[in-house]
Amino acid sequence: MNLTVIGTGYVGLVTGTCFAEMGNHVTCVDTNPDKVLALNEGRIPIYEPGLELMIQRNVSEGRLCFSTSLVDAMQDSNLYFIGVGTPSNGDGSADLSQVLAVAREIGRNLEKYAVVVNKSTVPVGTAEQVQAVIGEELLKRDVQVQFDVVSNPEFLKEGAAIDDFMRPDRIIVGTASDRAREIMAKLYGPFNMNQNRTIFMGVRDAEMTKYAANAMLATKISFINEIANLCDILDVDVENVRRGIGSDSRIGYSFIYPGCGYGGSCFPKDVKALIHLAESCQYDSQLLRSVDERNKRQQRVLFEKLCKRFGDDLSGLLVGVWGLAFKPGTDDLREASSLVLLHDLIGAGARVKAYDPVAMEAARQQLPKAWFDNGDLVLTEHQYDALKEVDVMVLVTEWKPFRTPDFVAMKKLMKQPVIIDGRNQYEPRQVREAGFEYMAIGRRG
């Protein structure tokens, strides 16, 4: 099949590449000519394990190409995936300007029947807006062309996106059109060889499913963080509690790991968008507001623990930070807990040395230049370099190289043997027996 994917951000790039990998001919469209040139040469703007090699293979074999012209791409395709960004507006609502701009361009150039697929995460009712915008443009041209708008939300985890796309838990397709349903069933047929994972439903149902899934996962994280904070107060070990409740099959172990809050491009944005959607319907989403508020507070827990230990004035304190990305397996810093910690530390007078296995270049590009110029923040080339002469080490992102560190070497490097573990990666007794003062989130022992 011939596909057009509009947008070469995280969603569009993974979607287009994985469809090409399954034998389809895919043109990915982006308005940035430098980005398109780099992609056609096999260079990608994001870190995602396995993606660069997959792009290079499919470009070289002629199944995948990148273009700045949607008009040209539309000539050979009648299946258009919209995968552009939907960032948060100031009020928490999703900014649909890019989605609707793509819909407008499709309407201005549509010549034959097509299925327009919303792959971006969008609020309930967006497909209807896309339908209306395309219809308006066709009316201006005084032409009649049939088309269907389908909701097909993505469920990709950064760091495991290829596996999620190629071996999905479920494929959600929202449509009321038999014709569109047949086309989407054919497209996803190769992904259903072992079992049928495709679930067809109404368009609005599919839009809501995406938001509900992310809100549910965010809720589990905020819940276990709330429990962990209470465990801190009551002298209870949250790890035992976590294992105890996780053994209940109705609860399970997924997403009940305490830490310093969630981040990234999905959970914070989607929870806020769902809250705004509820407010627009005059519905008070108490639970979702609590989830969001708990996460905002949780992202400051490490700083609060540090201040409790060293005082509110951190002038002269040197802090080593392990992990900058919002989670392992990505270089994405969006809404990362590390950013909140860095702002708080530097604002309180501390200096920071930080290391991340893959997010160093992203940090250099995105963090305030003044931090580097003033010597407030130094990015080190090795994880142990971030510990030289520091008064405390703070673990923010649970990368695998951080899980079993050399505590003997760490103690020799650090000025003061203090560890604040923001992801509960270490056994308290082991760290303390190594001669460290150790603080985590809800851990005892």
- The residues annotated as belonging to the active site are 266
Q: Which conformational region is residue 254 in: left (phi greater than 0), alpha (psi within -120 to 50 degrees), or beta? A: beta
Place of tokens 């003062």: 437
How far apart CA 256 and CA 88 sit, in angstroms, is 26
Q: Comparing C-alpha atoms, which of 44, 270, 54 is closest to residue 155?
A: 270
How far apart CA 88 and CA 55 sit, in angstroms, is 29
308's tokens: 């409790």
Q: Comparing C-alpha atoms, which of 233, 214, 236 is closest to residue 94?
A: 214
- Decide: residue 177, CB within 10 A, 0-12 exposed, 13-18 middle, 19+ buried: middle
For residue 277, how many C-alpha atoms fall within 13 Å in the half-sphere facing its CB? 20
How far apart CA 291 and CA 236 sit, in angstroms, is 23
How far apart CA 162 and CA 18 sit, in angstroms, is 7
How far apart CA 242 and CA 443 sit, in angstroms, is 11
How many other C-beta atoms can be found within 10 angstroms of the C-beta atom of residue 294? 19
Whether the CB-CB separation of 28 and 16 falls below 8 Å is answered with yes
How many other C-beta atoms can be found within 10 angstroms of the C-beta atom of residue 62? 9
CB proximity list for 32: less than 8 A, separation 6 or greater: 68
